[in-house]
């Protein structure tokens, strides 16, 4: 950008628009302030060269923006200060945009997820599983939701005891139950075993009660971490369930790496796709980011969970705290097992339930409105999960009611701060900040215009378990998301397959209508079918030429 004029800046916070009046086509950029991760000045007063002085904006959505500014005046200082203030409102004592937005929608997205309703849909409570309100005031666990499902046999007292032995009190609770075989997915955090190898009889009994609930011989505990990391956690008081202490349980490590590894991996990915796609040895570069390899590990972990459940065995899933990898695994397994979550509404419920209500730390992982871009708590765990979902939709293009656009919209508003949906770390924080009453839900936007998020190829199949193939042969980079800012990637509103399908559907309806009309006229006494057809035949010779299919 040679001599870009000052970016036109929308002070109403959102969105930021930059139009550069270059020679001919003016470029209009639309960047939600929430997507800005970092604003830096580049070059100083003494910088030479055309583009050496200006602003460098790093976005959370895989792009960087550079603006060259004129050195005269103090234009840069002003724009920098304003940007810095409004891009990171929380660091400046300001409100997030979601609290200022006046948007109105037909639908109220906050009503999408009602925990009791969802549990009832799953067939809960049963004689083995009960609903407890023990966490009504977030006393048992401040990062859990208020309504929990626990084994019928476990008393409130048991729960309190177990909570002392689980990191941050995140006790094993039910996420999903298989209607037929009653196998359950339970989620929790790591046990506080520590260096000394502490045991907790209550915890051991509690897990055994989970196993007993559907009468299987062994409970499988999936520890999402690599075993080395699980061992290392003992040093800080954590650890894993030892074989000798948990008699009827088997422990499987799923080798998924931590949030820091994922963050670095996506950073590397960004390096090879933005601003230009790496030319030479693209595939090797892609491999060296390990991004798809991590996706593969997460997916194959979820496949194992889903497979166990289908086989009638209950499972317990945890990582360290049970809000990152655990959420990925349980929600993906549920997506494989339960076709309801593959619908537009069901997917919203899944996110609300497994991610939002169970305390995935969105605020820390994304850093909404926070200027501290180097915060080690940031990590694209949720992006990675959505990528896994995308991989599944790619492999099963007819199994999901929603389309790619929904996934992109979710990721855009993960950062945008326009909706309250992904704000804050847990339910208790959301209550304190009155998110539900003061902000709009993302699902209000989506459900008010649900047709544009629907997959025309969707074919409901209620009882089918979807097992994606977690092989590098099938995993592919989500080009339309990660490389969407590249002008050479054709952004298609609709895939050609989809377009063709819609055309044909319209054509079918048109013909059906015509046929109906014809049959009506045929049955009317005054028009004889024969004369009718011969007349129109004679009248349309060109039409019949058109029918012939011989291009050459």
**Region near another protein per CB under 8 A, out of 11-19, 96-104, 165-173, 338-346:** 165-173
Nearer to another protein, 105 or 501 (CB): 501
Among 158, 241, 324, 370, binds another protein (CB under 8 A): 324
SS3 62: coil
501 binds another protein (CB under 8 A): yes
Is residue 325 annotated as involved in ligand binding?
A: yes
Among 108, 300, 343, 433, binds another protein (CB under 8 A): 300
Q: Is 319 a catalytic residue?
A: yes
Does 364 contact another protein by CB under 8 A?
Answer: yes
In the Cβ-directed half-sphere of 411, how many Cα atoms lie within 13 Å? 24
Helical (H) or strand (E) element with 54: strand 54-59
CA distances in angstroms from 526 to 38, 64, 121, 535, 536, listed in the order given: 77, 72, 57, 15, 16
- Of the CA atoms within 13 Å of residue 254, those in its CB half-sphere come to 31
Distance CA 270, CA 277 (A): 9
Residue 254 or 388 with smaller CB distance to another protein = 254
Closer of 359 and 420 to another protein (Cβ)? 359
Is residue 341 a contact residue for another protein (CB under 8 A)?
A: no
**3-state SS string over 335-403?**
HHHCHHHHCHHHHHHHHHHHHHHCCCCHHHHHCCCCCCCCCCCCCCHHHHHHHHHHHHHHHCCCCCCEC
Question: Is residue 283 involved in binding another protein (CB under 8 A)?
Answer: yes
Whether the Cβ atoms of residue 400 and residue 461 lie closer than 8 Å to each other? no
- Sequence-distant (6+) residues with CB within 8 A of 506 are none
Residue 324 marked ligand-binding: yes
Does the annotation list 320 as a binding residue?
Answer: yes
Q: Are 478 and 138 in contact (CB under 8 A)?
A: no
Among 77, 218, 438, 500, binds another protein (CB under 8 A): 500
CB nearer to another protein: give 104 or 547. 547
- Measured from the CB of residue 514, what is the shortest distance to another protein in angstroms? 6
- Determine whether the annotation assigns residue 319 to a binding site: yes
Torsion angle, CA of 176/221/379/382, rounded to 10 degrees?
-20
Binding mask 212-251 toward another protein (x if CB under 8 A, else -) reads: --------------x-xx--xx--xxx-------------
Segment interacting with another protein, rule: CB under 8 A, options 13-21, 47-55, 210-218, 276-284: 276-284
Instruction: Select 71 or 495, whichever has its Cβ closest to another protein.
Output: 495
Preceding omega of 473 cis (within 30 degrees of 0): no
Residue with Cβ nearer another protein (76 or 257) = 257
Which one of 35, 183, 185, 306 is in contact with another protein (CB under 8 A)?
306
337 lies in the binding site for another protein (CB under 8 A): no
Q: Give the DSSP letter of residue 35.
A: G
Q: Are 355 and 248 in contact (CB under 8 A)?
A: no
Q: Which of residues 391-410 bind another protein (CB under 8 A)?
A: 395-399
Choose, from 188, 319, 417, 426, the residue flagged as catalytic: 319
Residue 220 · residue 252 · CB < 8 Å: yes
Report helix, strand or coil for 382: helix
The annotation status of 73 as a binding-site residue, yes or no, is no
| Binding to another protein, residues 20-39 (CB under 8 A) | none
Catalytically active residues are 319
Binding residues for substrate are 258-259, 319-325
């Amino acid at each position: 950008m040679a001599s870009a004029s000052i970016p036109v800046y929308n002070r109403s916070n959102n969105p930021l628009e930059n139009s550069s009046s270059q020679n001919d086509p003016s470029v209009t950029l639309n960047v939600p302030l929430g997507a800005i991760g970092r604003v830096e000045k580049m070059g100083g007063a003494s910088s030479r060269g055309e583009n050496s002085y200006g602003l460098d904006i790093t976005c959370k959505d895989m792009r960087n923006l550079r603006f060259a500014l004129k050195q005269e005046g103090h234009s840069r200082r002003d724009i920098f200060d304003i940007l810095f203030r409004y891009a990171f409102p929380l660091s400046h004592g300001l409100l997030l945009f979601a609290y200022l937005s006046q948007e109105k929608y037909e639908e109220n997205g906050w009503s999408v997820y009602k925990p009791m309703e969802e549990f009832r849909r799953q067939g809960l409570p049963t004689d083995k599983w009960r609903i407890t309100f023990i966490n009504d005031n977030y006393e048992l666990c401040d990062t859990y939701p208020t309504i929990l499902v626990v084994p019928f046999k476990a008393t409130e007292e048991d729960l309190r005891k177990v909570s002392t032995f689980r990191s941050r009190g995140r006790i094993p609770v039910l996420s999903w139950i298989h209607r037929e075989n009653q196998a359950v997915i339970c989620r929790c955090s790591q046990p506080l075993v520590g260096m000394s190898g502490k045991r907790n009889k209550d915890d051991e009994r509690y897990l055994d009660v989970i196993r007993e609930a559907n009468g299987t011989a062994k409970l499988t505990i999936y520890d999402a971490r690599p075993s080395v990391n699980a061992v290392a956690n003992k040093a800080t008081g954590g650890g894993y369930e030892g074989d000798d202490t948990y008699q009827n349980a088997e422990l499987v490590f799923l080798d998924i790496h931590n949030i820091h590894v994922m963050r670095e991996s996506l950073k590397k990915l960004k390096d090879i796709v933005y601003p230009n796609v790496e030319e030479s040895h693209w595939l090797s570069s892609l491999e060296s980011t390990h991004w798809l390899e991590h996706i593969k590990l997460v997916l194959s972990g979820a496949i194992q969970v889903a497979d166990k459940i289908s086989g009638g065995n209950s499972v317990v899933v945890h990582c360290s705290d049970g809000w990152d990898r655990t959420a990925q695994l349980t929600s993906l397994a549920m997506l494989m097992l339960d076709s309801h979550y593959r619908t537009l509404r069901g997917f919203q419920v899944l996110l609300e339930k497994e991610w939002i209500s169970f305390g995935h730390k969105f605020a820390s992982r994304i850093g909404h409105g926070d200027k501290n871009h180097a915060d080690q708590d940031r990590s694209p765990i949720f992006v990675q999960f959505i990528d896994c979902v995308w991989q599944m939709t790619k492999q099963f293009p007819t199994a999901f009611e929603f389309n790619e656009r929904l996934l992109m919209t979710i990721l855009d508003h993960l950062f945008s701060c326009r909706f309250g949906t992904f704000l804050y770390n847990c339910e208790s924080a959301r209550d304190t900040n009155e998110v539900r009453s003061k902000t709009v839900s993302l699902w209000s936007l989506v459900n008010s215009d649900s047709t544009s998020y629907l997959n025309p190829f969707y074919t409901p199949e209620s009882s089918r378990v979807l097992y994606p193939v977690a092989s590098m042969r099938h995993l592919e980079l989500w080009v339309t998301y990660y490389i969407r800012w590249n002008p050479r990637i054709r952004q298609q509103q609709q895939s050609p397959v989809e377009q063709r399908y819609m055309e044909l559907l319209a054509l079918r309806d048109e013909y059906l209508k015509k046929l109906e009309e014809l049959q009506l006229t045929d049955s009317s006494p005054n028009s004889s079918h024969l004369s009718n057809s011969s007349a129109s035949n004679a009248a349309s010779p060109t039409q019949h030429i058109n029918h012939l299919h011989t291009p050459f």
